[in-house]
Structure 1
Amino acid sequence: MSDLPHNFQTDTLAKILPVDALTVRLYDRADELTTDAAKITQRYLQNLLTQQETARVILATGNSQIEFLSKLVNLGEIDWSRIVFFHLDEYLGIDANHPASFRRYLCERVEEKVHPAAFHYIDGDTVQPLAECDRYTKLLLSQPIDLCCLGMGGNGHLAFNEPSVADFQDPDYIKLVKLELSTRQQQVNQGYFNNIAAVPQYAFTLTIPAICLAHKIFCFALGKHKAQAVQQSLEGAIATSCPATILRSQAQATLFLDADSASLLGKSKVKS
């Protein structure tokens, strides 16, 4: 950890670093990160449910979420019957049973295990995608979102807000976007598709303003393949060229890093 800034503060598992309005939590190992993040989420939801009847949570998919979601579900002591779930994004044109469907991922890992009050999924294989955007927008805006959990992409994207389509002032809350080649290749690299031709070219995504509406944002970046995006996000200019930089303007956001994803911090100044 010698290359990291000196103003990290020691916590039980994490070192804490404020970066603008954002709180960064750094862990030596990924398993420590996911364990602590699950406990923090559990306590946050437990506390919410002492103050309000239901809590509304947006969940994400991808490899960064698997262990976190598993540990959160296994912790228990949350009244899941009072939790309403949403999800961040979904491919256009694949059904809910497709092996790479985000609906299937979340249904198998969360809904079927905890039986929440509701799980509102984006209908990826709808024949009316614009109407689906309208439907989901109304659900998102019907009551406040208490928590959004998500990962950071290798090019700094949040959900499917790629640098080419990210808009910090987006008037929409969910939209259709064309996926960048690097993101489609990442889905192949992570084993969700056999080859890049099988990866859909378009997807639904919650927009940056929709993510930032959440009262709490927990973002995860694990592994050396995320190190460059993490460095750009924390040391570069806040700009749509690296969408995750917007987190630095969000006081309700926490970024969870392991030693690998934080390995480039402080080593060279990112140019804006």
Structure 2
Amino acid sequence: MLADTKYFRVDELTVQIYNNEAEMAQDVAKIVSQYLQNLLQQQDTVAVLLATGNSQLKFLDALIALGGVDWSRIILFHLDEYLGISGDHPASFRRYLRERVEQRVKPQQFYYIEGDTLQPLAECDRYSKLLQTQPIDLCCLGVGENGHLAFNDPSVADFHDPYTVKLVKLDAINRQQQVNTGQFPNLETVPQYAFTVTLPLICAAKKIICLAPEKRKAHIVKDILQGEINPKCPASILRQQAQATLFLDSDSASLYQFS
């Protein structure tokens, strides 16, 4: 860990703040690499649930560049996918992960949510059963500008969700974020519905890392750490997870009031 990193706890959640996103990504990559290597000394395979989005790019590049992880013993899943777009669509999370992870590290298996399925409810059931075949050893997260984890927007987030994977309608803030970050050209082209892994499955992971850099995340980071633990801010549930760490840069932590 870098010597000038701020390190503290909010309820059960560990928080680490770095000078900038590049330093954060490098350090988180080292933490994750060592964790995976240690686990692989104790068990045959490791199951990892991956996030997508801009917050993950530098981290994933740094993790892969480090080497040292036997990816042939890693089983990968992902958190969410839009309904109705193909795996080759520029905004598809399958494409993002196939190009940025699978093709580079050759994991033992990468199980994808089939966003263009003709039977969405059957796909929820199929992916739920895959996720339930073994414990998730590591879950990598980002945070949406509305506080969502995966596609658990405030309007659909349920801390006690009975489902493992569900189909949800995306809220306006979420859909606009996808335009603002360049995933879609305009709001009309953003799908209204998506698949998401639910909050109880995320919180059941043995280790959770959540990366939330950039100034545009400052308001929601403040809400996560200083507001109520409530589905209106889905990521606030991380404050109840002793196995979770929230990684911030100076920009995203800029509105946090230190006591």
Residue 15 of structure 2 aligns with which residue?
A: 24
Cα RMSD, aligned residues only: 1.2
**Counterpart residue type for residue 31 of structure 1:** A
Residue 166 of structure 1 aligns with which residue?
A: 157
Kept in 2: contact 1:218–1:253 (CA 8 A): yes
For residues 81-115 of structure 1, what are the alpha-carbon distances to aligned partners after superposition, in whole Å with 9 as ceiling and x for unaligned? 00000000000000000000000000000000000
2:77 aligned to which of 69, 86, 89: 86
Could you state the TM-score of these two structures normalised by the residue count of structure 2? 0.98
- In percent, how many aligned pairs have the same letter? 63
1:230 aligned to which of 196, 203, 221: 221
Distance 1:36 1:203 in 2: 32
1:131 aligns with 2:130: no
SS in 1 for 2:14: strand
Q: How do 1:1-272 and structure 2 match up within 5 A? A: 12=3, 14-266=5-257
Distance 2:61 2:123 in 1: 29
Kept in 1: contact 2:2–2:27 (CA 8 A): no
Distance 1:179 1:42 in 2: 33
SS in 1 for 2:230: coil
Kept in 1: contact 2:80–2:196 (CA 8 A): yes
Relative distance call for 1:29 and 1:215 in structure 2 (3 A) is same
Could you state the TM-score of these two structures normalised by the residue count of structure 1? 0.94
| Count of aligned residue pairs for this structure pair | 259
Kept in 1: contact 2:221–2:253 (CA 8 A): yes
**Counterpart residue type for residue 111 of structure 1:** E
SS in 1 for 2:210: strand
SS in 2 for 1:187: helix
- CA positional deviation for 1:28: 0.8
Kept in 2: contact 1:83–1:118 (CA 8 A): yes
For residues 29-84 of structure 1, what are the alpha-carbon distances to aligned partners after superposition, in whole Å with 9 as ceiling and x for unaligned? 11000000000000000000000000000001100001110111111110000000
Deviates more, 1:10-19 or 1:175-184: 10-19
Distance 1:196 1:69 in 2: 28
SS in 2 for 1:57: strand
SS in 2 for 1:111: helix
Q: Which of structure 1's runs of 4+ aligned residues deviate more than 6 A?
A: none
In structure 2, list runs of 5 or more residues that go unmatched: none
